[in-house]
Chains A and B, each alone.
Chain A
Amino acid sequence: MNCADMTALIDAMDEENVEDLLALFAGVELTIRCPPRSGLVMLTVKDSFETDFHLGEVLVTEARVLFRGCEGFGMAMGEAPRKALARAAADAVLRCPEPTAIQENLVARLKQEAVTLNRRLAESAALIASTKVNFDLMSGA
């Protein structure tokens, strides 16, 4: 799992877990380079003929954080300043080339989150899979 995938796990966290994660950074020399700000990202998609078009905008919040000279970027869906900050901090820490204790703690916490998220996705996938259908043709059709 790369750094971007790791921080993407934060997007699936609820508010309480985001606060727990942010608590990990207490005492760590982080500098907020750009405080969280909300804005829009235009979602560009491809149709079935490979024509790009703009589907519509998505409300997001972004933030930037510095950790030991390493700039971290965080973007989260919706009006979510704490989540954007957590993603930016995690991005900076995980991309910092020199190993740190916070890095280890963060990876352990995110791996734990990955387990929870995968369990939730598997549960949802099982519900969806239970609706897989095999229609039979009626006689004479």
Chain B
Amino acid sequence: MGYVAVKGGNEAIENACRLFAYERIKGNSPVLGVDQIREQFYLTVDRVMGEGALYAPELAALALKQSAGDTLEASFMVRAFRATQQRLGYSLPVGAEKMRVVRRISSAFKDIPGGQILGATSDYTLRLLDFDLLKDDAARRNAFRERIFGSLPADAEIPATFPKVIAILRREGLLEESIAASHPEEEVFDITRRSLIFPAPRSARLQALARGETGGMLTLAYSSMRGYGNIHPTLGELRIGYLPLTMPHPVTGEPYVAGEVKVTEAEVLARFQGNDGMPRFSLGYGLCFGQNEIKAIAMAILDRCTRTEKPSCPAEDQEFVLYHIDGIEAMGFCNHWKLPHYVDFLSDLDRLRKAQDLARAGKVQEDAHADA
């Protein structure tokens, strides 16, 4: 493919950028504060952080404002910002059993240790428009706050941490053995420092999936759920909560908690034949920044799909999945078609015209033969 550089058009380009910014402010609505986006569009902010691979709620909200709500553009900006920052260090590895849970459900068991906590969810809403929100104001909000806190039972408490649901299956030998034991990794792969290689180590696959684009991952996972593949999972556990960001203290070496990061974790169970001939459940794992349940579940399904030994469909093909779920790369490639391809197209036109000439000449010859 040949590209040609073009030049000029600076003034028009600058005006186009200004016009884009103007479109956002030309109406008469009040100025939209970044704090409003962060607090009231928190699920979108979470999505942008996950796909941008940077946990920074304030900046993700800013990116959403700047991009007029385009999540792909916003994620791109967040990831571009991350490229300007130095890396100060690595956290101490943390597992989700340390999570301060705000939501936790299982579709595998009705009764789970610690109980099912629905948390803040729209799962049980009717998806009917709430026209009252058209008249949203401070008085309405205050009344709502009073209602929700007024009806709280005085003794309502939840445990600081919850045991894992899959531990029940592990105890009974119903779950596959540790992957780490069978495929040990010397060091954690970092796809921001090294290019992906295939077959990718587990740590690389999980990192790539964790920064994948929600819609792209859902599409691939859905293809498997619908039958283009063999993974029809049960949701062992879905939990949302806060993980501590713990660093070694540079002076004392003791664990130092810098803050908390909101994440969503999903564990899906699928059936499989164990290597030793003993059937057990296999597990797919998903974890991503923020509250993004669809992404975490899709990630868990794709994790399980891409561990299939003989891939038979796109969702089971590791290379296919990992190369196509990055929203920023995908949108970048799609967007590049808007750039000048004048020489490519001119060449296509030339070839087409020549092909048509040849076709016409052939037709004339055929006609001549037919007449003879």
Interface of chain A residues 101 through 130 with chain B (CB within 8 A): 122-130
Beta-carbon contact of A125 and B158 below 8 Å:
yes
Beta-carbon contact of A129 and B156 below 8 Å:
yes
A50-B178, A78-B57 given; A71·B251 CB < 8 A: yes
User: Of A8, A39, A132, which contacts B115 at CB under 8 A?
Assistant: A132
Proximity string of chain A (51-93) to chain B, C-beta cutoff 8 Å, 1 when within and 0 when not:
1111111111010100000011101111100000000000000
Report B-chain residues with C-beta under 8 Å of the C-beta of A43: 55, 91, 94, 243, 245, 261
User: Of A75, A127, A129, which contacts B148 at CB under 8 A?
Assistant: A127
Beta-carbon contact of B283 and A44 below 8 Å:
no
Is B259 an interface residue when CB atoms closer than 8 A count as contact?
A: yes
Interface of chain B residues 253 through 302 with chain A (CB within 8 A): 254-261, 263, 267, 283, 285, 287-289
In the assembled complex, the CB of B217 is this many whole angstroms from the nearest CB of chain A, namely 15
Beta-carbon contact of A53 and B82 below 8 Å:
no
Beta-carbon contact of B117 and A59 below 8 Å:
no
Considering only CB atoms, which chain A residue lies closest to B236 in the complex? A48
Report B-chain residues with C-beta under 8 Å of the C-beta of A39: 85-88
Beta-carbon contact of B56 and A78 below 8 Å:
yes
User: Of B87, B110, B117, which contacts A137 at CB under 8 A?
Assistant: B110
A129-B158, A131-B118 given; A45·B245 CB < 8 A: no
Report A-chain residues with C-beta under 8 Å of the C-beta of B263: 45, 55
Report B-chain residues with C-beta under 8 Å of the C-beta of A5: 257
Report A-chain residues with C-beta under 8 Å of the C-beta of B54: 40, 56-59
Beta-carbon contact of B258 and A41 below 8 Å:
yes
Report A-chain residues with C-beta under 8 Å of the C-beta of B289: 55-56
The size of the chain B interface, using a CB distance under 8 A, is 81
CA distance A57 to B116 in the complex (A): 30
Beta-carbon contact of B287 and A42 below 8 Å:
no
Is B119 an interface residue when CB atoms closer than 8 A count as contact?
A: yes
Q: How many A-B residue pairs have CB under 8 A?
A: 216
Considering only CB atoms, which chain A residue lies closest to B254 in the complex? A4
In the assembled complex, the CB of A67 is this many whole angstroms from the nearest CB of chain B, namely 12
A39-B88, A41-B89, A53-B202 given; A128·B119 CB < 8 A: yes
Beta-carbon contact of B206 and A47 below 8 Å:
yes
Is B230 an interface residue when CB atoms closer than 8 A count as contact?
A: no
Considering only CB atoms, which chain A residue lies closest to B87 in the complex? A40
Is B50 an interface residue when CB atoms closer than 8 A count as contact?
A: yes
CA distance A76 to B90 in the complex (A): 15
Beta-carbon contact of B152 and A127 below 8 Å:
yes
Is A133 an interface residue when CB atoms closer than 8 A count as contact?
A: yes
CA distance A78 to B151 in the complex (A): 35
Beta-carbon contact of A40 and B88 below 8 Å:
yes
Is B207 an interface residue when CB atoms closer than 8 A count as contact?
A: yes
Given A53-B206, A58-B91, A131-B118, 13 other A-B residues pairs in contact with their CB atoms under 8 A: A39-B86, A40-B87, A48-B283, A56-B49, A56-B53, A59-B54, A59-B82, A60-B88, A62-B88, A75-B259, A78-B56, A122-B157, A128-B117
Interchain Cβ contacts under 8 Å between A and B, 5 examples: A4-B254, A41-B245, A47-B202, A73-B256, A128-B102
CA distance A72 to B250 in the complex (A): 9
Report B-chain residues with C-beta under 8 Å of the C-beta of A132: 115-118, 158
User: Of A4, A8, A45, A128, which contacts B94 at CB under 8 A?
Assistant: A45
CA distance A49 to B178 in the complex (A): 5
Beta-carbon contact of B94 and A46 below 8 Å:
yes
User: Of B85, B153, B210, which contacts A55 at CB under 8 A?
Assistant: B210
Considering only CB atoms, which chain A residue lies closest to B59 in the complex? A59
Beta-carbon contact of B164 and A48 below 8 Å:
yes
